[in-house]
Amino acid sequence: MTSTTRPAASAPAAMRESVRVSLGARSYDILIGPGLLAEAGAEIARRLPGIRALVVADERVAALHADRLSASLDAAGIAHSRLVLPAGEPTKSFAHLGEVVDRVLAERLERGDAVIALGGGVIGDLAGFAAGIVRRGMRFVQVPTSLLAQVDSSVGGKTGINSPRGKNLVGVFHQPALVLADTAILDTLSAREFAAGYAEVVKYGLIDRPDFFRWLGENREAIFAGGPERVEAIATSCRAKAEVVAGDEREDGNRALLNLGHTFGHALESCARYDAARLVHGEAVAIGMALAHRFSVAEGLCPAEDAAAVSAHLAAAGLPTTISAIPGPAFTVDELMDKIAQDKKVVRSALTFILTRGIGRAFVARDVDPASVRRFLAAEVGC
Amino acid sequence: MTSTTRPAASAPAAMRESVRVSLGARSYDILIGPGLLAEAGAEIARRLPGIRALVVADERVAALHADRLSASLDAAGIAHSRLVLPAGEPTKSFAHLGEVVDRVLAERLERGDAVIALGGGVIGDLAGFAAGIVRRGMRFVQVPTSLLAQVDSSVGGKTGINSPRGKNLVGVFHQPALVLADTAILDTLSAREFAAGYAEVVKYGLIDRPDFFRWLGENREAIFAGGPERVEAIATSCRAKAEVVAGDEREDGNRALLNLGHTFGHALESCARYDAARLVHGEAVAIGMALAHRFSVAEGLCPAEDAAAVSAHLAAAGLPTTISAIPGPAFTVDELMDKIAQDKKVVRSALTFILTRGIGRAFVARDVDPASVRRFLAAEVGC
Ligand SMILES: NC(=O)c1ccc[n+]([C@@H]2O[C@H](COP(=O)([O-])OP(=O)(O)OC[C@H]3O[C@@H](n4cnc5c(N)ncnc54)[C@H](O)[C@@H]3O)[C@@H](O)[C@H]2O)c1
Ligand SMILES: NC(=O)c1ccc[n+]([C@@H]2O[C@H](COP(=O)([O-])OP(=O)(O)OC[C@H]3O[C@@H](n4cnc5c(N)ncnc54)[C@H](O)[C@@H]3O)[C@@H](O)[C@H]2O)c1
Ligand SMILES: [Zn+2]
Ligand SMILES: [Zn+2]
């Protein structure tokens, strides 16, 4: 918890980055840097004068950081209340969605007022979905507190919850008005969660930034330790995501590339019943990316040494890269295939996967034969 | 139930109207005429080739019309299943939303597949909302079966459910891909529901079509009896709504005019706890429009004879025009004011109402003094 004592004002200006997400009338800024939480009130008040707000946080993040956010909102004259929810993936449910919606209405917030999500991707997805449906869309500010949320889930407007039938199957596109990524807040994140978020950072390199992937190889330790490299890695990730989102807001085309590792990953999470003790999202993505590369090798698309380099980098960051690395009962191929077919990226029975021709050369493959996926997985579950 | 035996093929082409809702990539057609249900399958298949579908209907409409829709879908080769829900406003709930969503997922429908709403505004709003959030938006076809749904709720993409804290407080904008309004299907609608829908038809005249209001005065009986005048009244209403929607898809500006009678109306429905035995939506709108005109008179904006003409026309159509006409315990001014303040059209405490300078001259009044509304209602609840 060193970040709570580090004075925000001392953060050098050079350690502040800003990324613009260009979406016409729905454009917004992502501010990135250590100590931003203390400036949240001022930044919000400057952009959204006169609003009232509901802060939504999970119990863990609320205990660590919500009072500092409240102090900052108070100082800027932003009247607000707080809703604290249980931590963990099961909070992305219909029941908790109803709870957030009801609280927003109970506070009589109007369309121009804001829901502020203080937390990881779970709180961001849930609170953003609620903001997207109360009065058919009210304002929404993201204060992402996990690495995964800072580089991925808080950017791009995808919000949603899980269904017993699959992950993120229900939701809306609803862009935030502002994203405030305090990079020092990550100091309280567990090493496991930091590594999980780092999987999504690596993803941007693997999609179409081979230089960034190489840079990560040289700076991984500094990023984990938290210096200017951390700010830079997060800003580059946000920039990468912002570019894809600006070109394809509603995921009709190339935005699908962001799902590298996610078709396998979601199936794994689902088979593990979203049990964080077994697997968290970023770990599933790490395994999924490793699988996507090895499957691409098996399909004769990708050099074997690229797949090996990906696994080596992820493993060095403390991430799992094989299905059998997941603790608990083994998954069957049938279970996995069933989840893959239910994945929302399925388009009329042909399987859609993000495959790759090598590091930084991912592409959308729309006609993947389910039989070859099954053969590939049969070999993988055995490893 | 004369419509069930009337052969669709015999409907003269002159009795078919088509209205285009122009919203760029989200544009769609409203087809209007007697016997269209029999052509639903062909019209859908032509526009959305290869889809599968879930038909959502309430128990009353399902019993009367769902088999004919199914036959038409079957004939066009559209694989589909059916979900039947209880009839009535309480079905617009979080619980039923979850039920529709779950069924869509259980049927493994994909983004390109469709939810088909066969029913009144309740089913259209609920099924449309579900289609808007499953996989962050899948296709959606409206087959409105009540007059209210044909002239109002099925057009424009507003979908949603009620909250215990107010009506339609939760939802999304999600445009249908097609609206099929079979005007003969209205023959099975109760006289009370037909009249209720007629209130929304009158609304379009009152907003900005004084000639249409006069035409309605001359053709009301023919419209109720169901001849070419019915098709024309519905088409004119759809055209009026389509124009407003095209100019203001997300209700940031003039679309608010469509809420004429609705701020009062929603408050009345809410005070009556959505009990259809006491009050249905169109009746609430009829009273609300009469109130909006009388309030405009009280504010010195509107000639008294215009308000009288509005009430006379609504009363001739069998609609209520006063608060005291609502059966059951009387409402207090406090209750009503409380509901009005919670209405979603409230913008930062000043009350927004649709007021009028006379028949066909409605406007958005953004700075209505709550005290004068209170005084006005105090006199009205006594009548
Ligand atoms: N919307 C999108 O585009 C998108 C993209 C990727 C992932 N996601 C979603 O994001 C979710 C995963 O996000 P996540 O990994 O942030 O999960 P999370 O929100 O559950 O956070 C992980 C854990 O870290 C804790 N935590 C968060 N910030 C902390 C901090 N600063 N200090 C201490 N503890 C902290 C949380 O309490 C939680 O226990 C998944 O539900 C996934 O589907 C969404
Ligand atoms: N989305 C919008 O823009 C919009 C606009 C106006 C109203 N609405 C909503 O619409 C709802 C009211 O719509 P409604 O009046 O159609 O209510 P409804 O759907 O409950 O239908 C009214 C009754 O008529 C029955 N019915 C419908 N069609 C029939 C037919 N052909 N034959 C016999 N019975 C039939 C239904 O079973 C129901 O009992 C409200 O919830 C209101 O909020 C939405
Ligand atoms: Zn992810
Ligand atoms: Zn209405």
Best of A170, A248, A270, A344 to substitute, by most chain B Cβ atoms within 10 angstroms, is: A170
What are the binding residues of B for Zn(2+)? 200, 262, 281
The separation between CA A106 and the C-alpha centre of its own chain, rounded to angstroms, equals 29
Cα separation, B237 vs B30, in Å, equals 11
Mean pLDDT of the A153-175 span: 94
Residue A166 sits at φ, ψ, to 5 deg, of: 160, 165
The Cα of B161 is separated from the nearest Cα of chain A by a number of Å equal to 10
Distance B227 CA to ligand 2 centre (A): 22
Catalytic residue among A82, A220, A239, A255: A255
How far apart (Å, rounded) are the C-alpha atoms in residues A333 and B99?
30
- Rounded Cα distance between A116 and B195, Å, is 44
Tell me whether 0.95 is exceeded by the ipTM: no
β-strand partners of A142: A117, A179
The answer to whether the Cβ–Cβ distance between A173 and B134 falls below 8 Å is no
Contact yes or no for B111 and A135 at CB 8 A: no
Domain map (residue ranges) of chain A: 2-188, 191-381
Within 13 Å of residue B143, how many CA atoms lie on the same side as its CB?
32
For the record, the structure tokens of A55 come out as: 């802060």
What does the DSSP 8-state code read for residue B344? T
Q: pLDDT at residue A13 above 60? A: no
Comparing CA positions, the residue from B347, B336, B341, B241 lying closest to residue B291 is B336
Nearest to A153 by CA among A120, A191, A201: A120
Of A102, A135, A165, the CB nearest to B105: A165
Below-70 pLDDT ranges, chain B: 1-14, 342-349, 383
pLDDT of residue B9: 45
Identify the closest residue of chain B to A137 by CA–CA distance: B172
Q: What are the tens digits of pLDDT across the range A345-375?
A: 554 567 889 999 999 999 999 989 999 999 9
Of A112, A165, A172, the CB nearest to B106: A165
Look at residue A253 in the predicted model and tell me its pLDDT: 72
Give 3-state DSSP helix, strand, coil % of chain B, rounded to 5.
55, 15, 30
Q: Structure pTM?
A: 0.90
Q: How far apart are CA A100 and CA A102, in angstroms?
A: 5
| pLDDT surpassing 50 at residue A3 | no
Structure tokens at A204: 């941007």
Task: Choose the residue to mutate in A279, A281, A285 for probing ligand 1, maximizing ligand atoms within 8 Å of C-beta.
Answer: A281
Chain A residues lying within 8 Å of B105, measured CB to CB:
163, 165-166, 169, 342
**pLDDT at residue A14 in the model:** 57
- A15 part of contact set with chain B, CB < 8 Å: no
pLDDT of the residue at A349: 66
Residues A309-326: what's their mean pLDDT? Answer: 97
Q: How far is CA B142 from the centre of its chain?
A: 12
Q: What is the pLDDT of residue A66?
A: 98
Q: Is A211 exposed, middle or buried (0-12, 13-18, 19+ CB in 10 A)?
A: exposed
Residue B352 in 3-state DSSP?
strand
Catalytic residue among A17, A39, A89, A200: A200
What is the architecture of the domain spanning B191-381?
A: Up-down Bundle (1.20)
Residues near A182 by Cβ (< 8 Å), separated by ≥ 6?
Answer: A3, A33, A34, A35, A36, A37, A143, A145
For residue A39, is pLDDT > 80?
A: yes
Q: Chain A neighbours among B 248-307 (CB < 8 Å)?
A: 250-251
Task: Give the Å distance between the CA of B333 and the centre of ligand 2.
Answer: 28
Residues in the 5 Å CB sphere of ion ligand 4: B 285
CB contact under 8 A, A110 and B158: no
pLDDT at site B13:
53
Contacts of B170 in chain A (CB under 8 A): 101, 133-135
Contacts for A138 with CB less than 8 Å, ≥ 6 apart: A104, A109, A110, A111, A112, A113, A114, A115, A131
Mean pLDDT of chain A, nearest integer: 92
pLDDT per residue over A50-90, tens digit each? 999 999 999 999 999 999 999 999 999 999 999 999 999 89
Q: Would you state the pLDDT for residue B343?
A: 55
Please, are residues A208 and A360 in contact by the beta-carbon 8 Å criterion? yes
Is A49 near chain B, with CB under 8 Å? no
Task: Report the pLDDT value the prediction gives residue B2, as an integer from 0 to 100.
Answer: 34
Indicate the pLDDT class of residue A343, thresholds 50, 70 and 90. low
pLDDT at position B363: 96
| Residue B383: per-residue pLDDT | 62
Contact at CB, B347 and A105, closer than 8 angstroms: no
pLDDT at A10: 45
Q: Which of A50, A112, A170 sits opposite B133 (nearest CB)?
A: A170
Whether residue A116 contacts residue A56, with contact meaning beta carbons closer than 8 Å, is answered with: yes
pLDDT at B167: 82
pLDDT tens per residue across span B87-105: 998 999 999 999 999 999 9
- In this structure, which CATH number among 3.40.50.1970, 2.40.400.10, 3.20.20.140, 3.40.50.1000 belongs to the domain B2-188? 3.40.50.1970
